[in-house]
Structure 1
Amino acid sequence: MRKLSELSNEELRDIIPELMEWLQDGNWPIARSVEDLLLRFGEELIPHIQNVFKTKDPQWEYFMLTGLISRLPSRYLIVLKVDLERILKNPTEDEMFEELDEVIVSLLKKIQ
């Protein structure tokens, strides 16, 4: 992890998709540190987060919602509002099973 934190934003930018994969399980010890690195990028993360939603991997979505996304400033949550509302109003069966709606409701309250 120390080597990653020594990389410049330009160097990190090239590996954002790979770093996002480290957030597939919020229980991994490195997950929080990777979130810290990714938070440097703010709005640039939006397309990468949206790509996670497209994977239809509800566990990854859960850890993104409770980790990185919950740590983003409200101004970025507004950009994700359509994606969050889709999961809330039209969840897949797996998203329902993971109870993503509970997490999303609290995120949407932050931007109302």
Structure 2
Amino acid sequence: MDIKILIPKHKFDFESVEKLKKLNLEEIKPILPELLEWLQDMNWPIAQEIETLLLSFQEQLIPYIKNVLNTNDGTWKYFLLHGLINKLPKHVLKDLKTDLERMKNSPTDDEKYEELEDILEELLEKI
């Protein structure tokens, strides 16, 4: 089976999400970046379920999260910081410390616009 066919097609594609839940982590790993895209707006109906699924990956998510934190998509960063990243265990969060510190100390325009200071401070205090 080509795992890419299970990437959700729209924000109500619960059928694909349910199929993904039945797979093991190794089967899902190739589509982690695409699944992370579904956390760009946590108001999308399937976003919460995908976030829960992604939390199983912990350390494996770090490179993909770092990629997002280096984009100009402040809204996506906002949702990741308040959701997925905030739910990661402390030992995994440590891998993001440099990125979080950069965002706190030298925020980009999109990060300033999203007013991320409080969540960044909270996350850094956890580490």
| TM-score computed with the length of structure 1 as normaliser | 0.95
* In 2: Cα distance, 1:67 partner to 1:31 partner: 10
Which among 29, 53, 62 is matched to residue 13 of structure 1?
Answer: 29
- 1:48-84 CA distance string (max 9 Å, x none): 1001112221000000000100000011111100000
Over 3 Å off, 4+ runs: none
Which among 39, 57, 64 is matched to residue 80 of structure 2?
Answer: 64
Equivalent in the alignment of 2:97: 81
* In 2: Cα distance, 1:41 partner to 1:97 partner: 30
Give the aligned length: 111
* In 2: Cα distance, 1:81 partner to 1:9 partner: 25
Amino acid at match of 2:113: F
Amino acid at match of 1:108: L
* In 2: Cα distance, 1:69 partner to 1:80 partner: 9
**Alpha-carbon offset, residue 108 of structure 1:** 0.8
Equivalent in the alignment of 2:126: 110
Which among 63, 69, 77 is matched to residue 53 of structure 1?
Answer: 69
Unaligned runs of 5+ in 1: none
Matches within 5 A, 1:5-44: 5-44=21-60
Which of the pair has the greater relative contact order for Cα pairs under 8 Å at 6+ separation?
Answer: 1
Question: Which structure has the larger Rg?
Answer: 2
Give me the CA root mean square deviation. 0.9
